[in-house]
Amino acid sequence: MSLRIYKLYFSPHRADFKKLKNILGFVPGNLKLYQMAFRHKSVAKQIKEGVKNSNERMEFLGDAVLGSVVAELLFKLYPYKDEGFLTEMRSKIVSRANLNQLSRKLGFDKLIQYDSRMISYPNKQGSLLGDAFEALVGAVYLDKGYQFTREFLLMRIIKPHVDIHTLENTETNFKSRLIEWCQHEGKEVTFVPVDNPEGESSKMFSIEVLVNGEACGLGRDFNKKSAEKLAAERACEYLKIIEIA
């Protein structure tokens, strides 16, 4: 009996293998990697002092692999565009809003494990989807290697789901778009620094967007500008100001 047949029909985890095969298009090698990719920190266990078995480390890895695959795609797709254009296009493709939407389209929302009681913040769930998407890329990379991940991303994700040429014309300055929208709607928007969660690196900036006093998006990064940008992006998504291609 082949390992593939065993996994899909006889393994005690056959339901999980099947679900992943249906969504991803291939049978996972090491199921544990995929389980970790879909495990939000709200349901993760501490495996050693200060480290949880959540998908956050895998997100770091997947983000890098995704960046590399998309860089090559754009490099080859646009042989006569300069590096400024390539950089901007990549940031549109891997923007949180785009990855959230991809994640939802692919049905990852049904796979993510999280504690819904702990995710009360309105926009958290949005970021949770894109984070899981990146973590999944990390899991595929660890399970199957670079070439496989590249093919998977290009053929299974980007080609059918990302309209690159529409993104070319999409404006993605979320902060200015948010501010314009608020002016138009007569609402007041403010960016306020908030405290980091306990135990978090003090080098991180956390910025929250308030629209008429309501928290609409939280951004965190190593520099304040990027944290603001991320917060604005999430607020745009939360307030449904943007439609991604």
Is 131 annotated in some ligand binding site? yes
Q: Please, which residues bridge with residue 44 across strands?
A: none
Per rule CB under 8 A, is residue 169 in the interface with a second copy?
A: no
| 3-state SS, one letter per residue, for 29-81 | CCHHHHHHHCECHHHCCEEECCEECCCHHHHHHHHHHHHHHHHHHHHHHCCCC
Q: Quick one: which of 21, 119, 224, 245 contacts a second copy (CB under 8 A)?
A: 224
Phi, psi of 221 (to 5 degrees): -160, 175
Q: Quick one: which of 201, 213, 240, 243 contacts a second copy (CB under 8 A)?
A: 201
Active site residue 49: no
Per rule CB under 8 A, is residue 198 in the interface with a second copy?
A: no
Per rule CB under 8 A, is residue 51 in the interface with a second copy?
A: yes
Rounded distance between C-alpha atoms, residue 227 and residue 110, angstroms? 28
The three-class DSSP label of residue 215 is strand
Q: 70-88: string of b/e by CB count within 10 Å (b at 16+)?
A: beebbeeeeeeeeeeebee
Query: What is the per-residue binding string for a second copy in 133-152, x denoting contact by CB under 8 A?
Result: -----x--x---xxx--x--
Is 134 annotated in some ligand binding site? yes
Residues lying near a second copy in the complex (CB under 8 A): 47-48, 50-51, 56-61, 63-65, 67-68, 70-72, 75, 80-88, 138, 141, 145-147, 150, 200-201, 203-204, 222-226, 229
Please give the annotated binding residues for Mg(2+), written as ranges. Answer: 59, 131, 134
